[in-house]
Amino acid sequence: MFDFQVLGAKIVDELSNLIDKKVLVTDKNGFVIASTDPVRLNTFHEGATLAMKNQQPLHMTKEMCDNLAGVRPGIVMPIIISDLPIGVLGVTGKPSEVEKYAKLVKKVAELFITDLISRQEKERGIREIEFFFFDLVTSDSSFESLQGRAKMLNIDTSLYQRIAMMQTNRQYEIEDVENLLRIQTIHPELKIIRWGLERLIFLLPNISKRELINGLEKLAKKIAGPANSTLPVGIGKAGDFNQLKESFRQSEMAHAVSARQGQIVFEEDLKLELLYYSIPKEVQEEFISRTIAPLLDEPELLHNLEIFLQKKSSVQAVADELHIHKNTLLYRLNKIEKILSISFADNNDLATIYTALRLYRKI
C-alpha cells in the first residue's frame, strides 16, 4: 500500500498552502501522525475515533472539547478511499468558520491519496513486467510457467514477437518509462523495460519494419533531447513468444553493431557482422595479434591500409583521397607488406587483413 505517516505529512503540507488554518491528520486509531502544530504529533484525538466509527464529518464543539481527549474546536472528517476509512483529517478553528473549507480540504486530501495509489499501482505494474522479462531472457523457466506469469500480468503472449534494445543518455526512473509509454507512437501495447544503467528494452508486438523504424526514430529523438545525438538501436528477429529469449540475444548483437554504424540495425540484416560477433573475444584478440598487431603502433600506415582496402580503386584515387603523392602511397603500401609479411596481390592475404581490421575496429 503506502506509508500513511509520510503521506499524512505531505497532505498537511499541501493543505497548509491552501488555507490559513491549522490542519492535522490522524491514523485510523486516532493518533495524530501529521500536523501544522508540532505539539500535537503523536497525541490521541478522541474525536477522530468517533469520525472513523461513524464515517461522517463531526463538528468539534466547545462541549465536545470539554468531554473528549485531545480535541480542539474545528471539524474532523474521515478520509475514505474505495469505501474504506483510512484516517481522519482535522481543521482547527470555529466550526462555523472552517466548515466552508471542509469539502475542499477533504476533496484535496482524497484526490492526493487516490493519485498516489494510482501512481504506485503503475510503478508496481512496470516493476513486475521488468522482473518477468528478466526471468524470460535469463532463466530456464518452462514456457508453461512463463505463460502463466504473463497471464497474471495481463500480457498477451500471442501478441509479442521480437525485442529491440536502445541505448539512452542517462539512467531512467519508472516515471520516465511511464512518460515514454504515453508519448510513443510505435504500438499501443508496447512494453518498455529498463535494462542496466542506460538501456531500454522494447517488447514489440507484430508491426511492419517501416512502422517500427519510424516509431523508434521518433522516440529516439525525444529521448536524445537537445543533444540530438544518434542513439544505438538493435532489433532481434521476429518469432513466437517462446523465441523472445533468442530475439533478445540478437538485439544485443545488433545494438553493438548499431553503436558503430550510427543507425538502427536489424539482426536479420547482418552479414559479416553476424560472424564477427559470434567469435569469442579472446579468439578475436589472438587473430588480431597474429595479423595486424605490428601496425597498431603505426596509426598513419594503419589508416592508409584501411583506405586502400575500402576504396578498391586505383592507387592514384587512393592517393588523392589521402592527399598524398602516388609514389608516397606506393612506398607506404610496400612498407606495410614487409611489416605484415603479406602481398596485396594475394587475395587470401587481402581477405585476412580486411577481416582483422574489421575485428579490430569492432573491439
pLDDT digits (tens, 9 = 90+) for 232-273: 999 999 999 989 999 999 999 999 889 888 899 999 999 887
Decide the pairing of beta strands 58-60 and 74-81: antiparallel
Dump pLDDT digits (tens) for 117-170.
788 888 888 999 999 999 999 988 888 888 889 999 999 999 999 999 999 988
- Rounded to the nearest angstrom, the gap between the alpha carbon of residue 279 and the centroid of all alpha carbons in its chain is 30
Structural domain total, the chain: 3
Contacts 24+ apart (CB under 8 A), 9-16: 9/33, 9/34, 10/112, 11/89, 11/108, 11/109, 11/112, 11/113, 12/36, 14/108, 14/112, 15/105, 15/108, 15/109
Checking if the pLDDT of 330 tops 70, the result is yes
Q: Say whether both 161 and 272 belong to one domain.
A: yes
Q: Say whether both 99 and 62 belong to one domain.
A: yes
Checking if the pLDDT of 1 tops 70, the result is no
Residue 151 lies in a domain: no
Q: Are 146 and 135 in contact (CB under 8 A)?
A: yes
Decide the pairing of beta strands 265-266 and 233-235: parallel
Q: Are 123 and 131 in contact (CB under 8 A)?
A: no
pLDDT at site 281: 86
Q: Say whether both 261 and 165 belong to one domain.
A: yes
Q: Say whether both 325 and 350 belong to one domain.
A: yes
The residue-averaged pLDDT of 81-89 equals 86
Distances (CA, A) of 180 to 124, 185, 186, 209, 297: 17, 10, 11, 20, 46
Residue 141 lies in a domain: no
pLDDT at site 363: 54
Q: Are 43 and 31 in contact (CB under 8 A)?
A: yes
CA distance 47 to 69: 8
SS3 state of residue 99: helix
Residue 68 lies in a domain: yes
Q: Say whether both 268 and 343 belong to one domain.
A: no
109-113, 128-132, 332-336: lowest mean pLDDT where? 109-113
Residue 175 lies in a domain: yes
Distances (CA, A) of 309 to 42, 140, 260, 313, 352: 79, 45, 19, 9, 12
The domain in which residue 160 lies consists of 156-276
Question: How many beta carbons lie within 10 A of that of residue 149, not counting itself?
Answer: 16
Higher pLDDT, 230 or 236: 236
Share of the chain above pLDDT 70, in %: 99
Show Cβ contacts of residue 151 under 8 Å, excluding neighbours closer than 6 positions: 157
Q: Are 8 and 28 in contact (CB under 8 A)?
A: no
Question: How many beta carbons lie within 10 A of that of residue 199, not counting itself?
Answer: 18
The amino acid occupying position 70 is G
The residue-averaged pLDDT of 107-111 equals 82
DSSP 16-47: HTT-SS-EEEE-TTSBEEEESSGGGTT-B-HH
Which of 15, 89, 94 is closest to 62 using CA atoms? 94
pLDDT-derived band at 14 (thresholds 50, 70, 90) equals: confident
CATH code of the domain in which 15 resides: 3.30.450.40
Domain termination residue (choose one: 69, 99, 121): 121
Average pLDDT, the chain: 89
Q: Say whether both 327 and 258 belong to one domain.
A: no
The residue to which cell 602516388 is assigned: 326
Dump pLDDT digits (tens) for 39-49.
999 999 999 99
Q: Are 305 and 295 in contact (CB under 8 A)?
A: yes
Rg value, the chain, Cα? 33
Show Cβ contacts of residue 288 under 8 Å, excluding neighbours closer than 6 positions: 356, 359, 360, 363
CATH code of the domain in which 238 resides: 3.30.70.270
Residue 145 lies in a domain: no
Half-sphere exposure of 253 (CA within 13 A, CB side): 22
- Grid cell digits, residue 155: 500480457
Residue 132 lies in a domain: no
